[in-house]
Amino acid sequence: MVSSLPHPTTAAGRDGLAALLARPEKAVVALDFDGTLAEIVPDPERARAHPGAVPALAALAPRVAAVVVVTGRPAGVAVRYGGFAGVPGLDHLVVLGHYGAERWDAVTGTVQAAAPHPGVASVRAELPGFLDRIGAWPGVWIEEKGRAVAVHTRRAEDPQGAFEALKGPLGDLATHHGLVLEPGRMVLELRPPGMDKGVALADYLRETGARSVLYAGDDLGDLPAYAAVEKLRSDGTPGLLVCSAAESSAVPDLAARADLTVPGPAAVVGLLAGLAEAMAEEPADGQGA
C-alpha cells in the first residue's frame, strides 16, 4: 500500500508516485546503476548489483510498462554486473549503456550499438602520456569504458585536490578531440557530445509512450535525466525523482532537486520492492476489465 512506501517531500513527487500506482501499466521505472542499484566501490570492475536488486526488479517489471537501466557503462557490462540476463520476470527490462549509445533488451538478449566516436580512440591512445606530462597525482588511474574513457581520483592521496587539478587539462583534451568532459564523484569521464542520460531517457519515454516515470540516480551524471523528468512534468507527465545517497554523502545538486532521498542501493531496492507490493495489492484502474 502507499502507506508502506517512503513519502516524497514535494507535491510534484507525490503526484508522480500517485500516477505510478494508479496506472502502472503506463509507467516507466528508470534507474542508474552505480551508486543506485550497486554500491560505489574503489574498483569499478568489482561493482555488482545489490543482492536484492534482481528479485525486486523481477517483481516490479511485469507490473509496469518497462524498467530501464540508464548507465554510462557499456550495456553488456551493466547486464553482467547486474545479473540481469535470463531472469524470469525481467522481459520488460532494457539497459541503455554508454548514455544510450548502446541498448540491450532482455527479450532478445542482444546489444545494439551506434558507431563509435573517433575521438575516443584518439584520447585513449594519448591519455597515459598526457597524464605523465602534466604530473598526474599518484593513485590516479584510467578506466577503459569502450565508448568513453574515465580518469579516477578516488585512490589518490588527496582525491578532491587531484580532481580539481585535472579537471581543466582534461577538459581541454576532451575539447581538442571533439569530446566533452563529464565530472562525477572523484571521476572525470571523456565521452562524445550529445550523449547523456537525459537524452537517452527522453528518447526511451517517447518510444514507450509513458504516462508517468520514476528516475533514481546518485551523481552529477544523473542531472540531465532529472532535467528530462522535470521537462516532462512541466508538460503534464507526472514523475518522481529519487536520489540514492546517505544524507552525509549526497551530491548537493542532485539531492536539492530530488523529491525523495533514500540512503543508498539497499534503500532503492526496498523502494522498488515496495512499489511492486503496492501495485500487487492495488491493481491499476481498468486492469482486468
Which residues are the active-site residues?
32
Question: For residues 186 and 28, what is the distance between their CA atoms, to the nearest angstrom?
Answer: 30
Q: Is-contact 120 149, C-beta < 8 A?
A: yes
Alpha helix stretches (DSSP H) within 134-244: 159-176, 197-208, 223-234
C-beta neighbour count of 124 within 10 angstroms = 17
Q: If 0-12 CB within 10 Å is exposed, 13-18 middle and 19+ buried, where does residue 52 land?
A: middle
- Three-class DSSP labels, 243-285: EECCCCCCCHHHHCCCCEEECCHHHHHHHHHHHHHHHHHCCCC
Q: Say how far residue 129 (Cα) sits from the centre of its chain.
A: 31
What the block records as the C-alpha cell of 14 is 507525490
Strand partners, 183: 188
Strand partners, 261: 243
3-state secondary structure of 217: strand
Q: Is-contact 75 111, C-beta < 8 A?
A: yes
C-beta neighbour count of 137 within 10 angstroms = 18
Q: Say how far residue 214 (Cα) sits from the centre of its chain.
A: 12
Maximum alpha-carbon separation in the chain: 68
What the block records as the C-alpha cell of 222 is 544523473
